Copies of this chain bind each other. A is one copy, B any other.
Amino acid sequence: MLGPNRYGKAEVRVVRVTRGAEHELRDWNVSIALSGDLSATHLSGANDEVLPTDTQKNTVYAFAKRLGGVEPEVFALALAAHFVDTAEAITRARVTVDEYGWSRLGQHSFARRGGAVRTCCVVGGLRDLVLLNTTDSEFRGFARDEYTTLAEAGDRVLATSVEAQWRMRGPDPDWAASFAAARQAMVDAFVGTYSYSLQQTLYAMGSAVLAAVPAVCEVRLALPNKHHFLVDLSPFGMTNDDEVYFAADRPYGLIEGTVLADDAPEPGLAWS
């Protein structure tokens, strides 16, 4: 019995230049997943209803030309609507856009920003925003069992790589302003929160987005705890006054949570 299924072209790397006195640049990685009644191709290999993933790739390019340098969320929604409207068997389209940031160097010159990548997929978001506080973080009073060896920490480095997604209320939000405000609210909350646990910081960051951007009704956050362990310098006759750390790769703590507005509408298929 065939269960849920979908297909599409992943990672179409398209760069859109808008030429004027100053050139504008959009640098995207676009992925598409289409679903609907596609049982024929699964069961018998009949492809009448299968719009090739190559065609989907072409459509990304054509829409990049037609729509110009719009916000990535606008692009994603227009592309998704196109497939649902025109491909007979397709009843649902999921379009994901990662936008890589570039800083302007001149009228037609740019430097890749690195750092946070803006994401969207019906919901908005970002990932790879790496933040660090050198103090104002502790971790104490935690549960203990027979396997617990961790010492309480009264002052620790707190570092994370923010992955966030936010769901909007209305049909036509200001995506660019929402993105900027949500990003800033998360940064401010991270900087301004005296942290007793990373969960608490997570909740503060999610709440700050809801407060700063009323059009957002739900925030999902995944925060790896990028451990910075104090090095024991005592064998060398030195005191480590919270100065020298080993930045560990693996394992790491991973804290995931959702913060909702009290009046958040049902998500429908937004997250799936």
Contact = CB atoms under 8 A, between A and B. Distances in A.
Interface stretch (A70-78, A173-181, A228-236): A228-236
Nearest to A3: B258
B191 A143 contact: no
Give the residue among A110, A187, A218 with the most B Cβ atoms within 10 A. Answer: A110
Given A5-B258, A55-B150, A149-B54, A199 B41 contact: yes
Category for how many chain A residues contact B: 35 or more
A10 B256 CA distance: 12
Contacts of A202: 5, 42
Interface string A1-13: 1111111111111
A191 B104 CA distance: 11
Contacts of A199: 5, 7, 38, 41-42, 45, 50
Nearest to A108: B134
Given A15-B228, A87-B143, A218 B257 contact: no
Given A51-B145, A258-B2, A242 B17 contact: yes
Given A102-B132, A233-B62, A246-B61, A256 B7 contact: yes
Contacts of A157: 15, 17
A61 B246 CA distance: 8
A17 B134 contact: yes
A251 interface: yes
Nearest to A6: B256
A106 B187 CA distance: 10
A240 interface: yes
Q: Is the interface of A mostly helix, strand, loop or mixed?
A: mixed
B203 A250 contact: no
A105 interface: yes
A33 interface: yes
Contacts of A59: 147
Interface of A: 1-19, 23, 25, 27, 31, 33, 38, 41-55, 57-59, 61-62, 64-66, 86-89, 102, 105-106, 108-116, 128-136, 139-150, 157, 187, 190-192, 195-200, 202-203, 218, 220, 224-225, 228, 231, 233, 235-236, 238, 240-262, 264
A45 B143 contact: no
Contact of A14 (B238, B241, B242, B247): B247
A106 to B, nearest CB: 5
15 contacts: A3-B218, A3-B258, A14-B245, A45-B196, A45-B199, A47-B140, A52-B148, A54-B148, A55-B150, A87-B143, A109-B134, A109-B190, A111-B131, A114-B116, A114-B130
